[in-house]
C-alpha cells in the first residue's frame, strides 16, 4: 500500500460551540476505525492525534493563558503575534506528525487568530492579521460549528480543564463580542472550498459527531493524496 500523509482537520467556532468535545470524539473514532474493509477509511488513516491552539503548555502559551484569564494586559497587535507564534513554534512537529501518516484534529487554528483579533473594537485590519499566519500548513478541512448567540452564553459557565470542572469566564466570553467574531468567521470562509458549516443548535453530540465523521470520510482519500498546502499563499 502507498504510504499517505495524515489529514489536517481544524475545528472552528465561537466559545462553547462544542469544538473540544467533538475533537475528542473524532480522535477516538479515527483511532478505532478499522483500517480495511466495511466502515474503514480505506486504509489511509493510520492514527489520529488531538491538538489544540492556543497550546498553553509552551512558554509563549503560558503568556497567552495569563492574558486570557485577565491576569495581565497586552497590546492587541502584540497578543495577536503571540497567538501566531504559538502556532509557528509547533510547525516542525506538526509536519513531522502528518508525514508519519498520523492525522491531526486541531481544536482552533489560524482562523481563530484572525476572527478574534479582527473582531476587536480598535480594528487591527484583516490583511495585517493574516500576514502573521501566512504560510502555515493549510488544513485539508475546516469544520465550522455554528451556534446561535442565545445558546452560547448558557454553555460558558461550565468548562472542563484537565479533567475537572472549573467555573471561569475568560476574556473574550461576551455575547456581543462573539457575535462580531462569528461575523469575521463569515468573511473568512467566503470562497473557501475546504470549509464545512455545521449548525449545532438543538442537535445532540452524537448527531453532530456522525455529521463531522461523514464529512471526513468523504474527503480522506483526496486529501491524503495531495501535498500539504500553505495557508493564504
Ligand atoms: N483565540 C484563540 C484567539 O484570540 N486567537 C487565536 O489565535 C486562538 C487560537 O482564545 F476565546 C481565542 C479564542 C478563545 C480563546 O481559546 C481561548 P479556547 O479554545 O477557549 O482555549
Ligand atoms: Mg474558550
**How confident is the model at residue 70, as a pLDDT?**
97
Question: 204-228: per-residue pLDDT in tens?
Answer: 999 999 999 999 999 988 888 899 9
Query: Strand 8-13 and strand 141-146: pairing?
Result: parallel
What are φ and ψ of residue 142, in 5° steps? Answer: -120, 120
What are φ and ψ of residue 22, in 5° steps? Answer: -70, -35
CB 173 within 8 A of CB 157: no
**How confident is the model at residue 119, as a pLDDT?**
95
Task: Please name the residue that has the C-alpha cell 452560547.
Answer: 152
For a mutational test of ligand 1's pocket, the pick from 12, 90, 116, i.e. the residue with the most ligand atoms closer than 8 A to its C-beta, is: 116
CB-based burial of residue 189 (10 Å sphere; 0-12 exposed, 13-18 middle, 19+ buried)? middle
The complex scores an ipTM of: 0.98
Region 122-146: mean pLDDT is 95
Cα(171) to ligand 2 centroid in Å equals: 9
Residue closest by Cα to atom 21 of ligand 1: 54
**How confident is the model at residue 167, as a pLDDT?**
60
Q: How many CB atoms lie within 10 A of CB 53?
A: 20
Quote the CA–CA distance of 114 and 132 in Å, as a whole number. 9
**How confident is the model at residue 2, as a pLDDT?**
63
Q: Which of 110, 105, 116 is nearest to 233 (CA)?
A: 110
Pocket of ligand 1 (CB under 6 A): 15, 53-54, 68, 83, 108, 112-113, 116, 172
- Residues at Cβ < 5 Å from ligand 2 ion: 15
Quote the CA–CA distance of 230 and 85 in Å, as a whole number. 16
Region 192-202: mean pLDDT is 96
What residue ranges do the domains of the chain occupy?
8-225
Question: 142-180: per-residue pLDDT in tens?
Answer: 999 999 988 887 777 665 566 666 667 899 999 999 999
Ligand located closest to 171 CA: 1
Fold of 8-225: Rossmann fold (3.40.50)
Amino acid at each position: 500500500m502507498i504510504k499517505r500523509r495524515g489529514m489536517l482537520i481544524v475545528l472552528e467556532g465561537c466559545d462553547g460551540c462544542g469544538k473540544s468535545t467533538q475533537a475528542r470524539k473524532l480522535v477516538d473514532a479515527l483511532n478505532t476505525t478499522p483500517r480495511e474493509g466495511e466502515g474503514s477509511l480505506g486504509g489511509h488513516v493510520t492514527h489520529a492525534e488531538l491538538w489544540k491552539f492556543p497550546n498553553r503548555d509552551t512558554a509563549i502559551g503560558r503568556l497567552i493563558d495569563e492574558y486570557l484569564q485577565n491576569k495581565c494586559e497586552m497590546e492587541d497587535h502584540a497578543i495577536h503575534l503571540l497567538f501566531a507564534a504559538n502556532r509557528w513554534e509547533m510547525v516542525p512537529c506538526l509536519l513531522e506528525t502528518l508525514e508519519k501518516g498520523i492525522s491531526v484534529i486541531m481544536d482552533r487554528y489560524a482562523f481563530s487568530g484572525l476572527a478574534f483579533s479582527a473582531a476587536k473594537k480598535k480594528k487591527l485590519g484583516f490583511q495585517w492579521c493574516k500576514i502573521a499566519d501566512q504560510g502555515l500548513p493549510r488544513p485539508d478541512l475546516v469544520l465550522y460549528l455554528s451556534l446561535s448567540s442565545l445558546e452560547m452564553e448558557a454553555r460558558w459557565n461550565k468548562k472542563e480543564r484537565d479533567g475537572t470542572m472549573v467555573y471561569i469566564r475568560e476574556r473574550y466570553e461576551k455575547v456581543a463580542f462573539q457575535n462580531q467574531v462569528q461575523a469575521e468567521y463569515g468573511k473568512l470562509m467566503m470562497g473557501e472550498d475546504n470549509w464545512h458549516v455545521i449548525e449545532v443548535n438543538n442537535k445532540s453530540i452524537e448527531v453532530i459527531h456522525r455529521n463531522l465523521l461523514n464529512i471526513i470520510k468523504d474527503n480522506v482519500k483526496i486529501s491524503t493524496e495531495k501535498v500539504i498546502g500553505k495557508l493564504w499563499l
